[in-house]
Chain A
Amino acid sequence: MGTSKAVDAADVDDELGRAFAARDKRQVVTLLMKQHGQKIFRYAVAMVSDRALAEDIRQQTFADAHRDLAQVVDVAALPRWLYGIAHHRCLDALASRRRWYQRYKNEFPADDEPPGDRPSDDALVALDQAQWASLLRRCVDQLKPRSRAAVLLRYGQGLRYDDVAVIAKERGATVQRRVARALPVLRRCLERKSRGGVR
C-alpha cells in the first residue's frame, strides 16, 4: 500500500483556521493557493494531459473557491472541497474535449487499454524513475476519466479512499474497485510500451 493521508486536519494549519474563522476570503484563498496550488495543478495535468488546460483548471478552481467559500462550514473540509472543485472541472474539460473531437474530428481519444496478455517479466521493475513517469503518464491517459481520477487521487495525490469517495461523489467501494481494475490495465500498458522502448 502506498502512503495515504487525510486531506483535512493534517493540512489545515492555524493560520488558515484563523482566516476562515474571520471569514477573510482573500486570506483563505491565498493560503489555499500556497498549500494546494501545485498539487491541484499536478492533478489537473495528469488528468487532462494538457499543461495550458491544466493551468486554466487550476485558476478556475481557486476562482470558484473564492466565489463559493461561504458554502463551506467546516475549515477541515476545505482541502477536500477544493479537490472536489478541481476534479469536476477536470471531468468537465475532458467531456468538452471529447465532444469537440466527436464534432470536428469525427473521432475521440482512446479510453481503456484493449485487453491483452498479462505481463510476464520483471523488466518493468528495472525501469528508472524518469522512464516510469514518462511511460505511466501515457498509460494513465488511456484510463477512462473516472478511473483515471480515482487512481490519481488515491496514489498520485496519496489521498485516503474515503476522501477520494467524497471528492468524486462516489461510494468508497466503487472507488476501490475502479482502482483495482485500473492497476492491471496500467500494468499491461506499461509492459507493452516498455517492450517498444521509452519514446
Chain B
Amino acid sequence: MSCELYWREGIFRVERGEPDPHHSGCEDCRREHRARAAIVQALPLVGADELGDPSWEAAVWARIARQAYARPRMRWFWGSMAMTASLVILASWLVLGDRDAGRSEADDAPVIEVMPGPVAMRSLASARPRTAAVGDQIRITVKQGGEIRVYRDHALVLACPPGTTSGDCVSDERGLVAVAKLPVPGTYALVVITPDPARVPALGGAPKPAGGLTKDLTALSELGCNYQLTQLRVR
C-alpha cells in the first residue's frame, strides 16, 4: 500500500515548498514522491507533439484586419442606433410632453385670477396669485364637474357646487366660474374639488360643506376626494 500521509498532507507541503518531516523516514513516502516527480516532469510533454497551423501568424493578422474593419462598422451601427433613439425620444417629448402640458394647463388645473378693484394697481399676471388687496375680486375657473369653495379665515363665504348657476357662480358646458369679492382683509382659502366620481360612488360627489375649512377638508380627505387648496392673503 502506498503512503496515505503523503497524498493527504505531504503533497500540500511539497507544493508550498515546505519540508515534509514524514518524508525522510518512510520508504513508501519517498516512492510516492518519486511518482509525483515523474508526473511533474512529464506534464510539459502534454501537447508538445501537437503542431498548429504553420501559417497561424498570418491568420492572426487577417483576424486583426477583420476586427479593425468590423469595429468602425459596429461603431457606425451603434452610433446610428443611439442617434435614432435620441430622435425618437425627442420627438415623443415634443409631441406628448407638449400635449400633456397644454392639457394640464388648459383642461385640468383650475385658473385663479385676481381682478383688481378700482383702487388697486397691481399686476394680474401671476398664474397662482398669493396676495390681493381689499376691494379686489377673485375669479376661479374649473372644468366641468368641478366644485369651488372660498373660505375667509376658515369660514365658508362662497360655495359653487358642480353645475350651479346662481349669484356668483356661473356654469356652462365648458366648466364652472366663480367670482368672489374680497371686501375685508384676511386669509382666504380657495378650495377647488376636482371631479372623481369613481372614488366616491356612493355619494356621487364631494360631501356638502359644513362651514369650517378644517372640518370640510378632513371630510374631503376621508372620502378620498381630490382637491386643491390655494391660500390668498388680502391686505
Q: Report yes or no: B43 in contact with A136, Cβ–Cβ below 8 A.
A: yes
Which of chain B's residues 1-57 have a Cβ closer than 8 Å to chain A? 1-2, 4, 7, 11-12, 14-17, 31-32, 34-50, 52-53, 56-57
Q: Report yes or no: B52 in contact with A51, Cβ–Cβ below 8 A.
A: yes
Q: Report yes or no: B2 in contact with A120, Cβ–Cβ below 8 A.
A: yes
**Chain B interface bracket (under 10, 10 to 19, 20 to 34, 35 or more):** 35 or more
Q: Report yes or no: A42 in contact with B64, Cβ–Cβ below 8 A.
A: no
Does residue B60 face the partner (Cβ distance < 8 Å to A)? yes
**Chain A interface bracket (under 10, 10 to 19, 20 to 34, 35 or more):** 35 or more
Which of chain A's residues 19-56 have a Cβ closer than 8 Å to chain B? 29-30, 33, 37-38, 41-43, 45-46, 51, 54-55
Chain A residues, CB < 8 A from B7: 118, 184, 187
Q: Report yes or no: A133 in contact with B45, Cβ–Cβ below 8 A.
A: yes
Point out residues on B near A: beta carbons under 8 Å. Answer: 1-2, 4, 7, 11-12, 14-17, 31-32, 34-50, 52-53, 56-57, 59-60, 63-64, 67
Q: List 22 A-B contacts (CB under 8 A).
A: A30-B57, A41-B47, A41-B50, A42-B48, A59-B60, A63-B64, A63-B67, A66-B64, A67-B64, A118-B4, A119-B2, A124-B35, A132-B38, A133-B46, A152-B43, A152-B46, A158-B44, A161-B15, A183-B36, A187-B7, A187-B39, A190-B39
Q: Report yes or no: B39 in contact with A136, Cβ–Cβ below 8 A.
A: yes
Chain B residues, CB < 8 A from A63: 60, 63-64, 67
- Interface pairs A-B: 5 shortest CB-CB: A45-B47, A133-B45, A132-B42, A46-B47, A155-B43
Point out residues on A near B: beta carbons under 8 Å. Answer: 1-2, 29-30, 33, 37-38, 41-43, 45-46, 51, 54-55, 58-60, 62-63, 66-67, 118-120, 122, 124-125, 129, 132-133, 136-137, 140, 151-152, 155-158, 161, 176-177, 179-180, 183-184, 186-187, 190
Tell me the bound Cα distance from A147 to B56 in angstroms: 28
Q: A59-B63, A122-B31 are in contact. Are A156 and B43 (CB under 8 A)?
A: yes
Chain A residues, CB < 8 A from B4: 118
Smallest beta-carbon distance B2→chain A, Å? 4
Chain A residues, CB < 8 A from B43: 2, 136, 140, 151-152, 155-156
Indicate the member of B12, B42, B60, B64 with the most A CB atoms within 10 Å.
Answer: B42
Out of B1, B35, B46, B47, name the residue touching A125 (CB < 8 Å): B35
Q: Report yes or no: B47 in contact with A124, Cβ–Cβ below 8 A.
A: no
Smallest beta-carbon distance B131→chain A, Å? 65
Chain A residues, CB < 8 A from B45: 129, 132-133, 136
Q: A37-B57, A59-B56, A176-B15 are in contact. Are A140 and B63 (CB under 8 A)?
A: no
